[in-house]
Each structure stands twice: as structure tokens, then as C-alpha cells.
Structure 1
Amino acid sequence: MIATTTPTFLRALLLFVLSFGQSYADDVLASIAARLVKTPMTQGQFQQEKRLKILRKPLLSTGTFTYHQSKGVIWKTLTPVSSLLLVNDSHLITAQGEQAVPPAFGSVFKALLGGELNRLTEGFSITGKDQKTAWQLQLIPKDALLKKVISTIQLTGDTELRQLELQEVNGNLTQISFTQISHPDHLSSEQQADFERLSP
């Protein structure tokens, strides 16, 4: 299950690189960014559903996430198989070991979980709408390589990001819902220990 959950999340994060060339898209982005809660720390629960064309039933997983502005992200899958992903601006740690990540990787996390949409850069064209109760953004890849893999990415939220939907060219679909989101003012001892593993 790790092979179908953690990599999917990583790909979703890595592909959250947007380009807002049109003034309309700029206006929508600014409006949505103004609504998002921005604090040094965000945590919550997630439920992921991955639908593969070769399988009749979707693959389901649940877990928790923690975002810290200066320390990085903890992505902990609890069911059906326990796994842990730790990421900061320069390193990524999984059960398979540690590896370096591109410098821009941390900025993508900040944009996704920290509400800092101004950090998003080139990669996708976008359409969206900002309504009273919710907003929605649809991302279409512009890069030729990405177009071979990703069809669209859709984000939905209110004052928080609530759902991410990733449609692949091959027909596979991944949906991640974020719930029980909160913004504590300090890390728990367990969270602190996890982040210490990312320290140089």
C-alpha cells in the first residue's frame, strides 16, 4: 500500500506548480489567498481514495498530516498500512531511506498546506471560481512531460484546502480529503521527535 499512497501524495505536491498568466486567474488567486487561514502550524486528518482502472474497488487509506512553517511536513498513513513521510526544504525521509529534494519542493508544501499561494510558480494553466461558501481551482499542465501523465488537478476549499483531486491521463483518479484541521501553537512531543529526524 505504501507504493500507492505515499508516491501519489508526493506527485500531487510536486505538481502543484502553477502559472497564472491571465489577469482573471490572478484576481481569483488573490481572492482565494485572502480567505485562507495562514498560521505557522497546521494539522489534521486525511482520507485518500485511489481508483485504478485495473482494479474494481478503490484503494483507501487514512492518516494524519502536520505542517510547520520552518520545520516541514509530517505525512503519516495509519490505515490500512502504517507509513511515515517526512519532508522539509532539502530532505525527504520514508521507510525506504532519505534523499535530497529540489529546492522548490519546500515552497510547494508552503503553498499547499500553509496557504501561501504566492509561492506557486510555473507549470499549469488555471481556471477557478471563488464563491461565498467555497472556492475551486482547476489545474491543467502546460509542460509536455507532465501532459503525458496528468490530465487535471482540482483543488476545493473554503478557509482551508479541503480536497485535492488528481486525474491521470491513463484514467486513474486520486482524491484526498482533509478534515479535522486545526492550528495549534506548539508541536507535540511526538511531532517534535519526527521533525528532529529531518534536522541536519
Structure 2
Amino acid sequence: MNRFLRTLCVLVMLAVVAPALAATDVEAVKQRVAKVDVLRGEFTQEKQVAGFKNPLRSQGRFVLAQDHGVIWTTLKPFPSEVVVTRDRILSRQSDGSSRVELDGRQQPAMRSVNAIMFALMSGDAQALSAQFTVKVEVLPGNGWKMQLTPRSAMLGKVFAQLTLSGDRYVREVQINEANQDVTRIQFAGMSDTPTTLSTDEGRRFE
């Protein structure tokens, strides 16, 4: 899996982690996390690349739709957008002037990662537990913390460990990549209404 594809997979994983919690077999966490059809929010991301002193920072917003996929929109420092469906990953500039599309039918590794992501989104606990070792800590005040460690060699080439924490929604994520890059992200302003996509959101999945 090349570096560009790995980076896209990391971005998408950050966008879909909220429903991932509802898919685990840890009842205490399952009861605390909202399971929604559409989730919108904002993110602040900091990526520490191995060998570089200063982290890369970005901000933006996301839309997660259970029946469609994820729209991950970076606003700062450079506007861009990543759209993920079951069969593809589409990266494009905000004005649509430049786009890169990866077809899951031609990228078996990418399709495998997408399958795991959609298992998280659909609540397929069997598929999730087959791929990740899960460790949960229940915290006071409706809080929780979760660590996911890949079981498969394929995922192990991308992720070393994912750490998530939150309450009704995921609030913070840390992704330790296999190449020693570390991504930290904070989510804010999340809302599960309206429960359907707008015309513009639907168009961006096309």
C-alpha cells in the first residue's frame, strides 16, 4: 500500500470512528455512544511525521452517512476533500479542478480496508473483532477510552494502534501508524440532525 493511499485511509478512519464504538461487544461503551444515520462535525488535526520537528496542522469538517460513506473536507491550510464509499476513495480540490480516484475493484488492499471501515459503520461486531484486539476503559461522567490494535498483517502495515476517547460521540483520536507517524485529532460541533443528506451533500458523493 503506497504512502498516498495509506494517508487517505488514516483520514477516513478518523471520520468513521464514532459508529465504530457502537459495533464493539463492550456493552458499557455501546450504551453510551450514539448510533446515528448521519453525523456532521468539525475536526482539528495534528500530524507528527517521523523525522520532522514541527507537526502538520489542519482544520475542517466531515459528514458521515451510514448509507453512503464519508465526506472529509479540509478547510485549512489548503482546501481539499476526500470522499469515501464502499468501492472507492475520491480525493479532489474544493473547486473540483483536480481529482484523484482510487477504485476498490482495482485496489484489493484498499477494498479490504474499506470493508473494515463499513463493518465499523454497520455494526458488524464479528468482522471488527476479527481484525482488532479491543481494550476498553470506562470513565466517570459517561466517558470512555478505547484502544484498537490490528490483528491482521495487512492492517498492521498501516496502523500500529488507535486510541479513542469520548462520551456520546468520539471526542479525541490518536492514530499511531506503522511508519511511526502519529496523528492526533479533536472533534467538535457534532450534530446528528438533520437525519438526511442535503442536496449538496448527496451530490458530493456522486
Say yes or no: does 1:99 pair with 2:103.
Answer: yes
| Secondary structure of residue in 2 paired with 1:54 | coil
* Count of paired positions: 183
In structure 2, which of residues 29, 33, 48 is the aligned counterpart of residue 32 of structure 1? 29
Cα 1:109–1:143 change in 2 (3 A) is: closer
Moved more, 126-135 or 4-13: 4-13
One-letter code aligned to 2:188: T
The question of whether the paired residues in 2 share the 8 Å contact of 1:73 and 1:109 is answered with no
In structure 2, which of residues 127, 130, 139 is the aligned counterpart of residue 131 of structure 1? 139
Equivalence for 1:21: none
Q: TM-score, length-normalised on structure 1?
A: 0.76
- Deviation track 1:163-197 (CA, whole Å, cap 9, x = no partner) reads 211113443211121111001123233212212x1
| Secondary structure of residue in 1 paired with 2:135 | strand
Cα 1:57–1:80 change in 2 (3 A) is: same
Cα 1:194–1:110 change in 2 (3 A) is: farther
In structure 1, which of residues 177, 188, 194 is the aligned counterpart of residue 198 of structure 2? 188
Cα 1:74–1:106 change in 2 (3 A) is: farther
Moved more, 96-105 or 55-64: 96-105
- Provide the C-alpha distance between the structure 2 equivalents of 1:145 and 1:38, rounded to a whole number of angstroms: 28
Identity %: 26
- Provide the C-alpha distance between the structure 2 equivalents of 1:42 and 1:13, rounded to a whole number of angstroms: 10
Q: TM-score, length-normalised on structure 2?
A: 0.74
- Provide the C-alpha distance between the structure 2 equivalents of 1:170 and 1:103, rounded to a whole number of angstroms: 20
Equivalence for 2:94: none
- Provide the C-alpha distance between the structure 1 equivalents of 2:116 and 2:191, rounded to a whole number of angstroms: 21
Long gaps (5+) in structure 2: 92-98, 105-109
- Provide the C-alpha distance between the structure 2 equivalents of 1:91 and 1:69, rounded to a whole number of angstroms: 15
1:1-200 equivalent positions in 2, closer than 5 A? 6-10=8-12, 26=25, 29-94=26-91, 95-100=99-104, 102=111, 105=114, 108-109=117-118, 111=120, 116=123, 118=125, 120-133=128-141, 134-147=143-156, 149-185=158-194, 186-195=196-205, 197=206
The question of whether the paired residues in 1 share the 8 Å contact of 2:90 and 2:101 is answered with yes
The question of whether the paired residues in 1 share the 8 Å contact of 2:165 and 2:173 is answered with yes
- Provide the C-alpha distance between the structure 2 equivalents of 1:166 and 1:137, rounded to a whole number of angstroms: 12
Shift of 1:67: 0.9
- Provide the C-alpha distance between the structure 1 equivalents of 2:186 and 2:169, rounded to a whole number of angstroms: 11
Long gaps (5+) in structure 1: 19-24
